[in-house]
Amino acid sequence: MSTRRLRSEDYNDYSSTDVTPEGSPPGGMNGFAHPESYQRFGEANGTTWYQTLIHLLKGNIGTGLLGLPLAVKNAGILLGPVSLLVMGVVAVHCMGILVKCAHHFCYRFQKQFLDYGGAVVYGLESTPSAWLRTHAVWGRRVVGLFLIVTQLGFCCVYFVFLADNLKQVISAANGTTNDCSPNRTVVMTPTMDSRLYMLSILPFVVLLTFIQNLKVLSIFSMLANVAMLVSLVVIYQYIVRDIPDPKDLPLAAAWKTYPLFFGTAIFAFEGIGVVLPLENKMKNPRQFPLILYVGMTIVTILYISLSVLGYLRFGADIQASITLNLPNCWLYQAVKLLFSFGIFFTYAVQFYVPAEIIIPPLVARVSERWGWLVNLLLRVVLVSVTCVLAILIPRLDIVISLVGSVSSSALALIFPPLLEIATYYTEGIHPLVVAKDIAISLFGFVGFVVGTYEALVELIAPAAAVVNSTSVMVQ
């Protein structure tokens, strides 16, 4: 998930149906709108193809990437990357479905722009079922609910990630040297529990979320992106060296751990919310389909390469975040702190969307005199809730898998295929397309149920867990 999912121009995707692009595209059953007739947006200050590609990459690369090596362990050195490739293809296909359906309804109802929730509302209104048409407004509410759960879930992941990495850095501080040899042993100094680190971080995160100016947040987000990019380069140059013989690694892991792989993988690929806002803001939106496929191809290659190389490099010792496997020397301690710096500021960016959905309606119920105080108090409450949830589930791998299974699977896999069926059912849709969409939705639903169940089992019975992400590897 994402370090730049939520730029200022992206928020309209979740809060408003009508924005201000120009024109309406004709939709079609066999792909995106026809280029010659597609003129949704053409403002001079729109984003170029290069800027859109960068935003798409940043919107899909986040903490989920660091957990993918463990995900591959849960699937197997062969089954894992193959599954990642399949899941990437399906996820990108679902992104294309969402864009196609939004285009269709924009042309059909002469709308300038539709967000995810708006497209679902019109999709339900197009079905032959009177009950679905009557309750179509619930489409937007359900999408909004899953969006809130997903974004606050990301925030919970950030708390656990920050606590785990800070704990490891502080524990090894006394023995940290310039020697980055993987065979060097560092005596870890006993330190406080990771839950206490989360509580220690809480006041700073609360203060960060008090910043409500999107231009200021965009500056912090840019710094976070630079910090994480530098960290990824250093991580790659370490894991490609001295890779041991992989003959002892299983080609396919036990099926019991595969649902944990599903949750982590779909958590990483859940970038569908950024698609429509990016397409809307382009100077030439006819280029967007190509950008979508090129960008997500790069993302998929990055995911597969880091996950496979990370698992090959550390084998059975791989932890919930690959940063926890790095040597305890100054260089890699700096990498952990640099990535933590990026994640800290990313919290405010991810927090913005659920805050904008939840807080304004509640503030509107009080007088203007007390509005600012209620606003701040609600922010404190929401941040504290994410902290408490992280404390209750202090295992990074389980938090990622749980968030991915519960909410990301719905937004990325379940809803888009059903939306395609609803959109084109009355106009005629090929039975093979219906079968394909049902298969994808069932795949997402099974992953949702089984992934959530296995994550909860791992949470309830930690003694049987395969990996304890809060434990610290002795280098």
Give dist(CA 149, CA 444) in Å, integer: 17
Q: What one-character-per-residue DSSP string does 238-253 give? A: HHTSSPPPGGGS-SS-
What is the predicted pLDDT for the residue at 413? Answer: 92
Query: What residues contact 180, with CB distance under 8 A and at least 6 apart?
Result: 327, 329, 331, 332
What is the predicted pLDDT for the residue at 211? Answer: 84
What is the predicted pLDDT for the residue at 182? Answer: 63
Give dist(CA 333, CA 335) in Å, integer: 5
pTM for the model stands at: 0.79
Domain layout of the chain by residue ranges:
46-180+189-461
Look up residue 380 and give its amino acid.
V
What is the predicted pLDDT for the residue at 262? Answer: 92
pLDDT lower than 50: segments of the chain: 1-31, 33-38, 41-43, 463-475
Provide the b/e sequence for 165-192 (b: ≥16 CB within 10 Å): bbbbbebbeeebeeebeeeeebebeebe
Segments in 109-136 forming alpha helices (H): 116-125, 130-134
Tokens of 98: 């969402």
Query: What residues contact 131, with CB distance under 8 A and at least 6 apart?
Result: none
Q: Sign of the CA dihedral 185, 189, 193, 194?
A: negative
Give dist(CA 443, CA 158) in Å, integer: 28
Look up residue 416 and give its amino acid.
P
Residue 413 C-beta-side C-alpha neighbours within 13 Å: 29
What is the predicted pLDDT for the residue at 81? Answer: 94
What is the predicted pLDDT for the residue at 203? Answer: 94
Residue 268 sits at φ, ψ, to 5 deg, of: -70, -35
What is the predicted pLDDT for the residue at 44? Answer: 56
CB-CB contact of 94 with 408 (8 Å): no
CB-CB contact of 289 with 28 (8 Å): no
Top CATH class of 46-180+189-461 equals: mainly alpha
User: How many Cβ atoms sit within 10 Å of the Cβ of residue 361?
Assistant: 8
Give dist(CA 396, CA 74) in Å, integer: 14
What is the predicted pLDDT for the residue at 192? Answer: 80
Give dist(CA 227, CA 222) in Å, integer: 9
Give dist(CA 363, CA 52) in Å, integer: 34
What is the predicted pLDDT for the residue at 332? Answer: 86
Give dist(CA 132, CA 269) in Å, integer: 29
Tokens of 145: 């609910």
